Amino acid sequence: MKITRQKHAKKYISFYKYNFKFRPPFQILIDGTFCQAALKNKIQIKEQMPKYLMGEVQLCTTNCVLKELESLGKELYGAKIILQRFQVRNCAHIKSPVGASQCLLSMIDDNNPHHYFVATQDQDLTASVKRIPGIPLIFIIQNTMVLDKPSPSSTAHVQAVQTGQLVTVQQKQSIQTLKEEQGLVNSTERRGRKRKRKGGPNPLSCLKKKKKIQGPQQQKPAGEKKKRKRHRKRTGGGGLQVETIAQIEKA
C-alpha cells in the first residue's frame, strides 16, 4: 500500500512540475485542522513531508491561521504549538485578521504565483481550492498523508493549453519578447514599455555661446579725453613757416 501511494505521489508531482512549473523546495501552506489531525494520528510533519514529496520543502502558515487557533481555546493548543514552528508568511490582513480559509485562499489567488501546496482537513477550503487550477492539495487519511490527484479544473486547464485554446503566463511572456526582437510591437506598446534613461547634461547647455557683435560706433567713457593730432604746415620749398611774435601780436 505504501509503495502504490508513493507512486501516485510521484506521478502527481510530475504533473505539477511539467504543467505548472513547480520546483523544490516545495512551499506548503498549512492550517490548524491539518496540524490537529497530524497530532491525533502521531504524524511528524517536518520529518515525513519531505520524504513523501521526494524533495526539500518549506512548511509555512499565516498570521490569520495562528490568530484563529488562539481564539478557539485550549482544545487546539497542541496544533498551535506545532504551527508556530513553521515559517509565517505575510498576508494582506495584518491590521484586520480574517478567517484561516479566507486568508489561505487569498495567498493562492491570481493563479498561485508562488506555487503553494495547501495542506488542510477543511472540506469547504478543499472545495474552493479544487476550483482553482494548478494547486496541489494534501490531507490526512488513515494515519497517512495523501497528495490528492489533480482536480478537474487543473486537468481542463492543461488540456486547453495543449489544444491551443489557452495561453499560459509563461507563453505570453515569451511571445512578447519574440515580438520585440522581430520589431512587431506597435508604437503605442513601445511607449508603454519605454524606460527612463539616466540623467545626463542638457544638450542645449553644451552649445557654444555666440560672441556678441560690437557695433561700428562705441561710446567711450566720459572721463577719457580725446587726443589731438598735430599737423605741421609745410612750405612749397620744404622748409617750415615760422611766425614771429611780433607778427602774431599785429594780427
Q: How confident is the model at residue 212 (pLDDT cuts 50, 70, 90)?
A: low
Q: Are 34 and 139 in contact (CB under 8 A)?
A: yes
Gap between the Cα atoms of 57 and 59, Å rounded: 6
- The stretch 201-223 carries a mean pLDDT of 60
28 sits in which H/E element: strand 26-30
Task: Indicate the SS3 state at residue 198.
Answer: coil
Distance from chain centroid for Cα 11: 33
* In-domain check, residue 67: yes
Which value, to the nearest 10 degrees, does the dihedral of the CA atoms of residues 15, 133, 122, 39 take?
30
d(CA 118, CA 9): 15
In a domain, 117, yes or no: yes
Cβ 36 vs Cβ 47: under 8 Å: no
**Cα dihedral value 112, 115, 121, 125, nearest 10:** 0
The reply to whether 128 falls in a domain is yes
84 part of a folded domain: yes
3-state secondary structure of 88: strand
What's the mean pLDDT in 180-185? 71
The CATH number of the domain holding residue 103 is 3.40.50.1010
pLDDT in tens, 64-116: 999 999 998 888 899 999 999 999 999 989 888 899 999 999 999 878 989 99
- Count of the separate structural domains present in the chain: 1
Domain holding 130, by residue range, is 1-8+24-156
At 180 the pLDDT is: 76
Amino acid 240: pLDDT: 44
Q: Is the pLDDT of residue 126 over 90?
A: yes
Residue 119 belongs to some domain of the structure? yes
**Residue with more model confidence, 133 or 190:** 133
Q: All 3 cell numbers of residue 125?
A: 477550503
Q: Does 33 map to a domain? A: yes
pLDDT value of position 40 = 94
In this predicted model, what pLDDT tens digit does every residue of 216-237 receive, in sequence order? 555 555 555 555 655 555 555 4
User: What is the percentage of the chain residues whose pLDDT exceeds 90?
Assistant: 53
- pLDDT tens for residues 167-178? 655 666 667 777
What angle (nearest 5°) sits at the alpha carbon of residue 215, between those of residues 211 and 217? Answer: 150
Do the domain assignments include residue 102?
Answer: yes
The Cα 139–Cα 185 span in angstroms is 47
In a domain, 104, yes or no: yes
Q: What is the mean pLDDT of the chain?
A: 81
Is 146's pLDDT higher than 90? Answer: yes
Percent of the chain surpassing pLDDT 70: 68
Q: What is the pTM of this model?
A: 0.66
